[in-house]
């Protein structure tokens, strides 16, 4: 099996996957314009690397697709496509949302919403309030936003849908 496996392609696929994970994690940790640039760099890399794998497969056709190596080459080429798709899918929605409706008190009904990263660290903690049982929920109380490290990045204070204070760290 060792002689029949395409080890050169295996090493290239591992490097390819590591670069993709780095590009995705880099774009997630940046704000606004830089995240867009990193995302575009990711898709440019994905397109160019796919092109390279296709061209290289055509050049190495005889040695890669002989009877002994064909299976490993096909598996690795599929992995070079499927793994990036899986990484993009997993990272495209890294959040989990939990919410609980607090009781309807004299001041109205309050809805608490905690959004967390998949690892459990918080992204944001927000509150909405409605004054009437079937009325709309309005932004209320202190909203706190966090980065992946768990540090507070922004605090917003609302009073019945009006922004009172906004502080960025």
Q: What is the pLDDT of residues 15-58, one digit of tens each?
A: 888 887 777 766 656 665 666 676 777 778 878 888 887 888 78
Distance CA 94, CA 24 (A): 12
Whole-number pLDDT of residue 116 = 82
Q: Which of 157, 111, 144, 158 is nearest to 130 (CA)?
A: 111
pLDDT score, position 98: 67
110-166 tens-digit pLDDT: 888 888 877 778 888 898 888 887 888 899 999 999 987 888 999 999 998 999 999
Q: For residue 143, what pLDDT is reported?
A: 94
């Amino acid at each position: 099996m060792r002689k029949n496996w395409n080890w050169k392609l295996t090493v290239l696929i591992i490097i390819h996957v590591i670069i993709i994970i780095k590009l995705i994690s880099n774009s997630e940790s940046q704000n606004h314009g830089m995240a867009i640039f990193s995302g575009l760099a990711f898709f440019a890399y994905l397109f160019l690397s796919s092109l390279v794998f296709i061209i290289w497969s055509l050049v190495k056709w005889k040695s890669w697709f002989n009877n002994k190596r064909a299976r490993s080459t096909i598996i690795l080429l599929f992995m070079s496509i499927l793994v990036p798709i899986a990484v993009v899918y997993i990272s495209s929605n890294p959040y989990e949302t939990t919410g609980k409706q607090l009781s309807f008190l004299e001041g109205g009904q309050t809805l608490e919403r905690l959004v967390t990263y998949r690892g459990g660290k918080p992204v944001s903690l927000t509150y909405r309030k409605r004054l009437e049982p079937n009325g709309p929920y309005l932004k209320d109380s202190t909203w706190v936003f966090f980065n992946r490290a768990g540090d507070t990045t922004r605090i917003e204070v609302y009073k019945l849908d009006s922004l009172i204070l906004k502080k960025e760290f």
